[in-house]
Chains A and B, each alone.
Chain A
């Protein structure tokens, strides 16, 4: 019987933000690239905005992923992401002075983020805001947003009101509303129903203003309003996250990477300090993916790149292990979970990951590069650094893997 195999220059495992950036990096290095993944990434569950770091840069610990790639590496990654997103129809904008921007949440608090999703509601000094909710859409209450904004920015002129959805919108599910608002008649009617609300102020609406055609929907509403119309992200299902995930996944394939979804990596064949191939499970049996270099972008515990084993008697916490190569996992000292969900210091388990050199390689491996949430030594949630680390380390890992493979 023929053995099933695929040979590439670079194989990236994982199709989240880090894996997609790695694929683009390896393509930039001129490599032939496959992305293998059990399913899609978690971008679709995000707000669509990209966080870089909430706190001060000089407080980063030694060995933090940002220290591994350096400020040039972060800049390179961001530039690559901005170019890719823009080519995919999502023009993300940096602050002119490279500061975080204040993105508005569905409870009206302000969340520092470096790259708000295109069209996301951002508060700028000197503006005034009018928040509008859609009757029946329970995920979003305009008064809650308005009161939150007043608390967060005393002195900001904020008003709020309700609007009926257009007659053509027959659903109250965010995804279905978004799709129906792409119909020209629905858009026009919504613009008409919003007329007279918040004249002279920026109009903040729930983030349901279209799917692929979101820019056109927002542009039409802005033109009718005569000013800014922006979106406040809702909880999952998140339309801005879906827009980014779909557009970037399409863009990576347009750039020439092959995407193998439904291919679950289950093991590897290794030589002296090198990965020769990984094995993926498909519906008709195992396939060996051979490559010159590999990128591990399997998303940590939430992406199941890491998993928790059986509890060992005498030890306080169950062991955390890496699921494909059995790489050593660095686990921080102290308890793995804080007693409060939103403890300010975060949870220990999210800092668990693979320790690497500055080429993002685990000790002893010459052609394996680690990125995103698989890396040890940072807390994407407490630091507000998840998107930035995925982009900077993904892009770097891809460039390096492409260079190794060529």
Chain B
């Protein structure tokens, strides 16, 4: 195999499309920060890595590279090396442990949401942790998705589900902050004749990986693979409602983390709408939608685009009578998971999101749609208008509410 830096033609396409490079000269960019610095690193030279941590990990550079490189992965390497040497700083540790915080917060949602909404608390957080006070905190739910799921009677107690079983990997945000996304997903899957299985699961590990903590991410990944693999071996599809979780389990468990058995799990993994689009392709998706005239501008999460599966949500939303939906293709939203919370990155995150803000406002729609919760929070923060998961629209159109 050719070295990544030798395969780079310096065609500049990655720089042209990089959402960060265009808004700040402080970022060296995917070309120089990726294959460029890699050449020096490979030669054993000490290199200036200033600004590399401004990369959002959107992997646009990987999508547009005509030589099939992943500049983003090279750009990310110094962060991994640094964390291995010195460990995660306090703020990064907090932001990356979404599941541990969630376990605490979800037990006291009133206190948590209340205090996170207080100005003095945010000022303190900004001073102590450099978490930007202007970034709204996601609100924790009253009770987790899992506790709701465990309490409910399954509709398939009397007879087996006609279309078989699916495994649901809900991720942290659904469990602690957006249980309605999980409930709607379960309702739509059951409406289409599937039994939903909910194996134990931990955070997919992406927030850890994004902050450079690879070793702990690998332990979580190994746990998740152990939980998912028995189902994969039986050919049961594994479904995700967060596109960053799906990308991580589909690809990074094997590629970046090298977890045993990950290759067996990956081929069974589907983004929820990728799965529903597959049902439609096989003629198995129920089409009993109520007419719901509405304009739904769609924002494709970067971590879905890099999966090479197109925009299945747009295709399915268009099946609902009266829906006008299209992919705005307005670039990265700028939030990038935990990135947009950081004091020194807030302004960049908002500048990156500006074309998306303009496209949403120009659409004249009442709400936007995206599969990724971090994108949706950013869309709401950018515009003040609500943003929903596409499953919400499908759930409404099926009349399951």
B99 located at the interface, meaning its Cβ lies under 8 Å from any Cβ of chain A in the complex: no
* C-alpha spacing A261/B61, complex, angstroms: 12
**Total count of chain B residues near the partner, CB < 8 A:** 48
With contacts A1-B267, A284-B267 taken as known, whether A258 is within 8 angstroms of B15 at the C-beta atoms is no
Asked if residues A6 and B277 are in contact (CB atoms below 8 Å), the reply is yes
Q: Does B154 contact A (CB under 8 A)?
A: no
Structural contact, B23 and A179, CB atoms closer than 8 A: yes
Contact A281:B308 (CB < 8 A) given known A6-B281, A259-B327, A262-B63 = yes
Task: Determine whether A236 belongs to the interface, using a CB cutoff of 8 Å to chain B.
Answer: yes
For A261, A285, A287, the residue with the greatest tally of chain B CB atoms inside 10 Å of its CB is A261
Taking CB atoms and an 8 Å cut-off, the chain A residues in 276-306 that contact chain B are 280-285, 287, 304
Number of A-B contacts (CB under 8 A): 118
Known contacts A40-B17, A212-B355, A256-B326: A263-B310 contact under CB 8 Å: yes
B16 lies within 8 A of A258 (CB):
no
Contact: B305 with A262, CB < 8 Å? yes
Contact with B along A1-28 (1 / 0, CB 8 A): 1101111000000000000000000000
Q: Are B11 and A45 in contact (CB under 8 A)?
A: yes
**A-facing mask of B58-84, CB < 8 A → 1, else 0?**
000011111010000000000000000
B309 CB-CB contact with A under 8 Å? yes
Chain A residues with CB below 8 A from B281, complex form: 5-7
- Whether B91 is near chain A, meaning CB under 8 Å from some CB there, is no
Total A residues in contact with B, Cβ cutoff 8 Å: 46
Q: How far is the CA of A280 from the CA of B277 in the complex (A)?
A: 16
A139 to chain B, nearest CB (A): 12
> Which has the most chain A C-beta neighbours within 10 Å: B277, B281, B310?
B310
Q: Tell me, in angstroms, the Cα distance from A260 to B306 when the chains sit together.
A: 9
A373 to B: closest C-beta gap in Å: 14
- Asked if residues B16 and A242 are in contact (CB atoms below 8 Å), the reply is yes
Chain B, Cβ-Cβ closest to A245: B16
Q: Which residues of B contact A263 (CB under 8 A)?
A: 308-310
- A250 and B308 within 8 A (CB): no
Chain A residue contacts of B23, Cβ below 8 A: 179
**Bound CA span A138–B337, Å:** 38
B251 contacts A170, CB within 8 Å?
Answer: no
With beta carbons under 8 angstroms apart, the residue of A44, A262, A281 that contacts B16 is A44
The answer on a CB contact under 8 Å between A45 and B13 is: yes
Assess whether A253 is interfacial by the CB under 8 Å rule. yes
Q: Is A397 an interface residue (CB 8 A)?
A: no
- A237 contacts which chain B residues (CB < 8 A)? 12, 15-16
Interchain nearest-CB distance for A116 vs B (Å) = 21
Q: Mark A246-271, 1 if CB is under 8 A from B, else 0.
A: 10011001101011111110000000
Among A40, A171, A283, contact of B308 (Cβ-Cβ < 8 Å): A283
B13 CB contact (under 8 Å) in A5, A40, A284, A304: A40
Given A45-B13, A253-B329, A283-B268 contact (CB < 8 Å): no
Produce 1/0 per residue, B237-251, CB < 8 A to A: 100000000010011
Contact code string A28-56 (vs B, CB < 8 Å = 1, else 0): 00000010101110001100000000000
CB <8 Å contact, A260 and B13:
no
Once A1-B235, A45-B13, A176-B25 are accepted as A-B contacts, the answer to whether A250 and B277 lie under 8 Å apart by CB is: no
B308 A262 Cβ-Cβ under 8 A: yes
CB distance from B212 to the nearest CB of A (A): 22
Chain B residues 83-130 with CB under 8 Å of chain A are none
B288 interface residue, CB < 8 Å from A?
no
- Cα distance A242–B23 in the bound complex, in angstroms: 15
User: A80 at interface (Cβ–Cβ under 8 A)?
Assistant: no
A211 close to B (CB within 8 Å): yes
Give A173 to B281 CA distance when docked, in angstroms. Answer: 46
* Least Cβ–Cβ distance between B312 and chain A, in angstroms: 8
Interface residues of B in 315-354 (CB under 8 A from A): 315, 318, 326-330
Inter-chain contacts of A283 with B (CB < 8 A): 247, 250-251, 266, 306-308
Q: In the bound complex, do residue A236 and residue B11 qualify as a contact, i.e. CB atoms below 8 Å apart? A: yes
Residues of chain B lying within 8 A (CB to CB) of residue A304: 66
Q: Which residues of B sit under 8 angstroms from A219, Cβ to Cβ? A: none
For the complex formed, measure the closest distance between the CB of B299 and the CB atoms of chain A, giving whole angstroms: 12
Is B237 in contact with A2, judged by CB distance below 8 angstroms?
A: yes
Report the Cα distance A75→B329, complex, angstroms.
Answer: 29
**B66 in contact with A39 (CB, 8 Å):** yes
| Distance of A211 Cα from B306 Cα, bound (Å) | 24
Q: Counting CB contacts under 8 A, is A404 at the interface?
A: no
- Answer yes or no: A186 CB below 8 A from chain B CBs: no
User: How long is the Cα–Cα vector from A260 to B304 in the complex, in angstroms?
Assistant: 10
The interface residues of chain A lying within 8 Å CB-to-CB of B250 are 283-284
Whether the Cβ atoms of B268 and A1 lie closer than 8 Å is yes
Docked complex Cα distance between A264 and B66 (Å): 11
Q: How far is the CA of A99 from the CA of B24 in the complex (A)?
A: 42
Q: How far is the CB of B161 from chain A (nearest CB, A)?
A: 15
CB-based contact B328/A250 at 8 Å: yes
**Which residues of chain B are within 8 angstroms of A6 by Cβ–Cβ distance?**
277, 281, 310
Evaluate contact between B11 and A260: CB separation under 8 angstroms: no
Q: CB distance B268 to A39 under 8 Å? A: no
Is there a chain B Cβ closer than 8 Å to A324's Cβ? no
- Report the nearest A residue to B250, measured CB to CB: A284
- B294 interface residue (CB < 8 Å to A): no
- Does A284 contact B269, Cβ atoms closer than 8 Å? yes
Find chain B residues with CB under 8 A from A102 CB: none
Would you mind naming 15 contact pairs between A and B with Cβ atoms under 8 Å apart? A39-B13, A44-B16, A175-B21, A211-B22, A237-B16, A259-B311, A260-B311, A262-B306, A264-B308, A282-B308, A283-B250, A283-B266, A284-B250, A284-B270, A285-B266
B-side residues, CB < 8 A to A, are 11-13, 15-17, 21-25, 62-66, 68, 235, 237, 247, 250-251, 266-270, 277-278, 281-282, 305-311, 314-315, 318, 326-330, 355, 358
Q: Which 7 A-B pairs have the closest CB atoms?
A: A262-B308, A260-B310, A282-B308, A171-B25, A263-B308, A284-B250, A283-B251
Sample of 9 further A-B pairs with CB below 8 A, known A2-B282, A178-B22, A179-B22? A1-B235, A1-B268, A39-B65, A170-B25, A237-B16, A258-B310, A259-B311, A260-B311, A284-B267
